[in-house]
């Protein structure tokens, strides 16, 4: 049998007092956001998924475009995953888009298109966890449940804790209980949004603006002058630096994009075991540039010659690229989960004019642009993938920020 330790720390005032102060402040301070102006359950769901790990200002244009393209759950369920990922392109954490698409299909196939009407129903959908289900249920359905994101947890912790040494007494389930007890039964959505808004605008992780805070008289951290120290900053997540090369193959103003995981499989002698060979898992469903495996240290820098044998294996491309190797155009850094990528960008401008495919040996420009070209995947027996030339200024394919950054460097030189 599991016993829960009672919380040794209590609030400095009654729940009613906190509600009155915070909700009054929220009336005047709430930001005007599109999902607040056009409140629907569907729109709330999309906003909550987009806002995970992402700043509000970044989400606003994505939400507008997403709702204009997929105005309801039926439209989202009927869409191709590739089109959903295209709209998500640049927002990062693409698993959220895949979950949204899968959840929409589940709602249409199993629930007849009716979005769940309780928190438990939302919890059964892919990508919806305790926080998101609480936010959607309270904001979209008016159900009295808490929704504690990182901002709300920080605010509650500061209300409760006066000194960093007390943090060890405060367990996650204590916060859940106190968070649940504070929810305003009559305005649960407003309460949860107000708590998160206070954390985002006033009770910031560093340099909280206590002078502008409506709840400062009931805040133990502020009273003790320790707000800056609570919560104590967490140890940074261990990161791993890796080196890779990507290749921009340009045909006039088009760039060759491939499914993730395509590129030379060989690594330079003496460079050790690659950290990862490709982005297949991280960028599933997104189109990318041909990429080398990821190497662990600077000494194993790539050389332009790495691309030639691989290019020669692609029908049409090898014969078009002339005798020169791709050239190094520049470098950039990019973060993907815990990896810190040091990316070398190589470029190859294909010659103007393409040979005829009269004997079927080479693709014409028409088939390359429309139907794509077949590319053998090195090391994967007899498999071929289809690549497409695409204009990255208005990409029709879903691409990651890594591709966009690589393209920007190449564009200055070869496109």
Looking at residues 7 to 36 of the shown chain, list those that interact with ligand SF4 (rule: CB under 6 A).
none
Q: How far is the CB of 11 from ligand SF4 (least distance, A)?
A: 12
- Which of the residues 27, 48, 193, 240 is marked catalytic? 48
Beta bridge partners of 403: none
Beta strand 240-251 with 339-349: parallel, antiparallel or unpaired? parallel
Question: Taking the mean position of all CA atoms in its chain, how far away is CA 9?
Answer: 36
In the set 208, 288, 316, 347, which binds ligand SF4 (CB under 6 A)? 208
Q: Of the two residues 86 and 151, which places its CB atom closer to ligand SF4 in the complex?
A: 151
Instruction: Count Cα atoms within 13 angstroms, Cβ side, for 278.
Output: 22
Q: Does 345 bind ligand SF4 (CB under 6 A)?
A: no
- Distance CA(378)–CA(277), nearest Å, equals 12
Q: Of the two residues 141 and 148, which places its CB atom closer to ligand SF4 in the complex?
A: 148
Q: How far is the CB of 227 from ligand SF4 (least distance, A)?
A: 4
Report which of 407, 385, 410 is spatially closest to residue 394, judged by C-alpha positions: 407
CB 226 within 8 A of CB 157: no
In the set 46, 85, 145, 215, which binds ligand SF4 (CB under 6 A)? 215
Q: Does 405 bind ligand SF4 (CB under 6 A)?
A: no
- Distance CA(237)–CA(93), nearest Å, equals 17
Stretch that binds ligand SF4, among 109-117, 200-208, 248-256, 295-303 (CB under 6 A): 200-208
Q: What is the DSSP letter of 130?
A: H
Q: Of the two residues 79 and 219, which places its CB atom closer to ligand SF4 in the complex?
A: 219
Q: How far is the CB of 228 from ligand SF4 (least distance, A)?
A: 8
Q: What is the 3-state secondary structure (H, E, C) of 292-317?
A: CCEECCHHHCCCHHHHHHHHHCCCCH
Q: What is the DSSP letter of 382?
A: T
Known active-site residue 185? no
Q: Of the two residues 208 and 264, which places its CB atom closer to ligand SF4 in the complex?
A: 208
Radius of gyration over alpha carbons of the chain, in Å? 26
The structure tokens listed for 412 are 């200055």
Q: Of the two residues 96 and 222, which places its CB atom closer to ligand SF4 in the complex?
A: 222
In the set 210, 320, 348, 399, which binds ligand SF4 (CB under 6 A)? 210
In the set 97, 203, 249, 289, which binds ligand SF4 (CB under 6 A)? 203
- Non-local CB neighbours of 295 within 8 Å, separated by 6+ positions: 242, 243, 244, 267, 268, 271, 272, 274, 275, 302
In the set 22, 67, 107, 213, which binds ligand SF4 (CB under 6 A)? 213
Q: How far is the CB of 257 from ligand SF4 (least distance, A)?
A: 46
CB 340 within 8 A of CB 239: yes
The structure tokens listed for 112 are 């007849």
For residue 305, report the phi and psi dihedrals to the nearest 5 degrees. Answer: -65, -15
In the set 101, 222, 276, 388, which binds ligand SF4 (CB under 6 A)? 222
Q: Does 227 bind ligand SF4 (CB under 6 A)?
A: yes
Q: Of the two residues 158 and 174, which places its CB atom closer to ligand SF4 in the complex?
A: 158
- Non-local CB neighbours of 369 within 8 Å, separated by 6+ positions: 251, 254, 388, 389
In the set 162, 219, 251, 257, which binds ligand SF4 (CB under 6 A)? 219
Q: How far is the CB of 21 from ligand SF4 (least distance, A)?
A: 10
Looking at residues 263 to 322 of the shown chain, list those that interact with ligand SF4 (rule: CB under 6 A).
none
CB 53 within 8 A of CB 93: yes
Looking at residues 131 to 190 of the shown chain, list those that interact with ligand SF4 (rule: CB under 6 A).
155, 158
In the complex, the residues that contact ligand SF4 under the rule CB under 6 A are 155, 158, 202-203, 208-210, 213, 215-216, 219, 221-222, 227
User: What positions carry a catalytic annotation?
Assistant: 48
């Amino acid at each position: 049998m599991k016993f829960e330790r009672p919380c040794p720390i209590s609030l400095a005032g009654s729940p009613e007092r906190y509600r009155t102060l915070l909700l009054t402040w929220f009336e005047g301070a709430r930001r005007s956001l599109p999902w607040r102006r056009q409140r629907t359950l569907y729109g709330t769901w999309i906003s909550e998924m987009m806002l995970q790990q992402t700043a509000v200002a970044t989400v606003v244009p994505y939400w507008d475009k997403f709702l204009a393209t997929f105005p309801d759950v039926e439209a989202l369920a009927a869409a191709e995953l590739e089109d959903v990922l295209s709209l998500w392109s640049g927002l990062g954490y693409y698993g959220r888009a895949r979950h949204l698409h899968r959840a929409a299909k589940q709602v249409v196939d199993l629930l007849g298109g009716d979005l769940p009407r309780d928190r438990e129903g939302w919890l059964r959908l892919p990508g919806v966890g305790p926080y998101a289900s609480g936010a959607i249920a309270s904001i979209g359905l008016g159900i009295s449940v808490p929704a504690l994101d990182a901002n709300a947890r920080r605010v509650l912790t500061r209300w409760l804790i006066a000194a960093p040494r007390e943090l060890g007494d405060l367990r996650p389930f204590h916060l859940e209980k106190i968070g649940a007890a504070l929810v305003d039964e009559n305005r649960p959505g407003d309460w949860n949004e107000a708590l998160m808004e206070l954390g985002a605008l006033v009770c910031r992780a560093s340099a909280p603006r206590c002078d502008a805070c409506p709840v400062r008289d009931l805040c133990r951290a502020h009273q003790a002058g320790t707000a800056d120290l609570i919560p104590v900053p967490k140890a940074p997540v261990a990161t791993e630096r890796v080196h890779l090369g990507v290749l921009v193959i340009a045909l006039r103003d088009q760039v060759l994009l491939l499914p993730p995981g395509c590129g030379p499989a060989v690594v330079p002698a003496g460079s050790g075991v690659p950290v990862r060979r490709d982005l297949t898992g991280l960028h599933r469903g997104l189109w990318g540039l041909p990429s080398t495996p990821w190497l662990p240290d600077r000494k194993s820098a790539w050389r332009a010659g790495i691309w030639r044998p691989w290019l020669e294996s692609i029908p049409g491309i090898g014969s078009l690229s002339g005798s020169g190797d791709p050239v190094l155009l520049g470098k950039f850094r990019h973060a993907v989960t815990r990896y810190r990528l040091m990316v070398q960008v190589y470029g190859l401008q294909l010659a103007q004019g393409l040979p005829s495919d009269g004997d079927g040996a080479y693709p014409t420009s028409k088939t390359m642009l429309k139907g794509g070209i077949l590319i053998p995947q090195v090391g994967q027996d007899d498999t071929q993938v289809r690549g497409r030339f695409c204009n990255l200024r208005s990409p029709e394919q879903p691409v990651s920020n890594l591709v966009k950054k690589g393209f920007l460097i190449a564009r200055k030189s070869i496109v």
